[in-house]
Amino acid sequence: MQELPRVCVIGAGSSGITVCKSLQDKGIPYDCYEKGSDVGGNWRYKNDNGLSNIYKSLHINTHRDRMEYKDYPMPHWYADYPNHEPIQKYFLDYVDHFGLRKNIKFKNGVAKVEPQEDGTYLVVSEKGDRNFYDAVIVANGHHWSPRWPEPDFPGKFNGKIIHSHDYVDPQHPIDLVGKKVVVLGMGNSAMDISVELSRPGVAKKVFLSSRRGAWIIPNYLFGKPLDKSTEMIPPGTPFWIKQFLFSIMLKIGVGKMEDFGLPKPDHKPGEAHPTISQDILVRLGRGDIKYKPVIQEYNGNKVKFADGSEEEIDAIIYCTGYNVKFPFLHSDFISAPDNYLPLFHRTFKPGLKNLFFVGLYQPLGAIMPLAEFQGKWLAEYLTGNYLLPNSAEMQRQIKDYETTMKKRYVSSARHTMQVDYEDFLYYMQKELKAGKKRASKTSNSLPIEAKAKYKQTTKSSSNGHGKDLRKSKKSALAKV
C-alpha cells in the first residue's frame, strides 16, 4: 500500500477548516497553521491574528443555505442573513463536531514556505518550528491586505483617513459621531458602512463617492431572498440568457440607479461584481446619504470632487478592496501582481503538482461550499483517485476561461478572480469526474511521493532559550 503524502494547510478560516475535514476523511496526514487563537478567519470578530477585521454590524449578504457546508448544514432557525456571531459559532461547531482541533497549530502562523530540490517544502512557522511537507495548501484568504488608491489623490487632507478593513463601528478606530464623512467605493463594505453612519444620531453628513456606477441588488425581491432564485437557473446556461433575466428583474423590482442619485452604470448587469444592499437605495432616496463622483483633490479640510463641488470633511473611509498576497512565499516563486494569478479551476498551478490554492476567488455567491468541494477534490487527488490533465491542457483551459471573463467583466483588479457560483461548482464537478477516469487508467497511483516524514525537522524550544529539539539523522534513516 502506498504511503500518503504529508500536507501543510495554511490558515484555519472558513476555507482552511473544510480542507482539513476533507483530508481527515481520507486519512491524509496534515498540519494546519493558524495565526490566531481560534478558527474563523475574517468571520471572527476582533480576531487576534492581527490580519482579520470585520465591522461590528456585519451580516452575510448570501443566504445561509447558499453559504453552508453541504456536510454540515446551518441550523434551520438561523436568520436568512445572520450577522457574524452565529456564523462564527457555526465554524466553531463545525470544527468541534468533526474533531479537527487536534491538527490545528493555533497562534502559530506560517512565516516561510521554501521549495526543496527533492520536491518537498520546508515550512517555517512563526514560532520557529521547521517541518517538511510533501504538499502545501494555501487557504490564507484574500481580504486582509488593504488596497489603497494608486496613485493617491493629490493634495493634503487634514482630517482622518482609514481603510474599511480597520472600521469597527462609528466610534472605532476613530470617532465619526457628529462628523462629516466620505465613504469611497461602491462595493458591499461601502454600502454597509454608509448606511450605518447615516442613521439618526451617528454621522452629521455622509457622502458616498466612487469612480463609476454600480448595479445595487437588494437581498430581497418580491418578498423572497434574491440569491436563492438563481438556483432555478441550470449551470452552464449561456450568460446572455442570465443577463437578460437579471436585467428584467432589476428593471421591474429595483428601477434605475439614476433615480436614486447614483450615476448610470457604464456596464450592463452581470458585467461587474454586484453590490448587495437592502438599505442603501432607501437612504439615498431619503437624502440621508448624498452621492458624489470620485475625489479629485484634497485641500486641507476640504475635499474637491470630480464635478467641481467641494465639501468640508472630517474623515474619509477608503472601501477600495484588497491585495492578494502570500507573505510566506518568495515573490519569484509565487506572486499575484495586480491580483492576477492564473490557476486551473482556481486551484492548481500548472507545473506545480504539490502546491494548491483554496478560496482564492471572488464568487457571485459564498466561498464556503466552493472551498468545501475544492477540499474534497484535493483529497481525491492526493489519494490517487483523480489525475490532472497535462500542463498544456490546463494552460489552454485557463486561457479560454480568462478570455471569456475579460469579454464579460469590466477591467479591474477586482475581477481577476471572478467566478459564477453555480457554473464554477458545476465545472469543477465535471473535471473531477473526468480526472477520476484518467486516474483509473493509471491504477490510481499517487501523484506525490511521501518523503517529508523521513526528513529532519526542527522544533522551537519550549523553554524560551532558543535551543533546537532535533530528530537525529540516525533515527530518520532508520525509518527509510
Q: Which domains, and CATH codes, for the chain?
A: 7-144+322-454 (3.50.50.60), 148-318 (3.50.50.60)
Residue 441 in this model has a pLDDT that exceeds 80: yes
Residue 473 in this model has a pLDDT that exceeds 50: no
Residue 245 in this model has a pLDDT that exceeds 50: yes
Least confident of 63-67, 273-277, 299-303, 379-383: 273-277
Do the Cβ atoms of 250 and 274 come closer than 8 Å?
A: no
Residue 29 in this model has a pLDDT that exceeds 50: yes
pLDDT in the model for residue 404? 84
- What is the rounded CA–CA span in Å between residue 237 and residue 252? 22
Cite the DSSP H helix spans in 146-295. 188-197, 226-229, 239-253, 280-286
pLDDT in the model for residue 467? 34
- What is the rounded CA–CA span in Å between residue 147 and residue 157? 19
Cell 486582509 belongs to 144
Peptide bond into 151 cis (omega under 30): yes
Least confident of 9-13, 172-176, 263-267, 296-300: 263-267
Least confident of 132-146, 232-246, 297-311: 232-246
pLDDT in the model for residue 2? 81
pLDDT in the model for residue 411? 67
171-199: pLDDT as tens digits: 999 999 999 999 999 999 999 999 999 99
pLDDT in the model for residue 105? 98
pLDDT in the model for residue 449? 95
Portion of the chain with pLDDT greater than 70, in percent: 94
Mean pLDDT computed over every residue of the chain: 90
pLDDT in the model for residue 291? 97
Average pLDDT estimate for 334-361:
95
Residue 472 in this model has a pLDDT that exceeds 60: no
Residue 468 in this model has a pLDDT that exceeds 70: no
- What is the rounded CA–CA span in Å between residue 75 and residue 166? 31
Residues 6 or more apart in contact with residue 449 via CB below 8 angstroms: 5, 119, 134
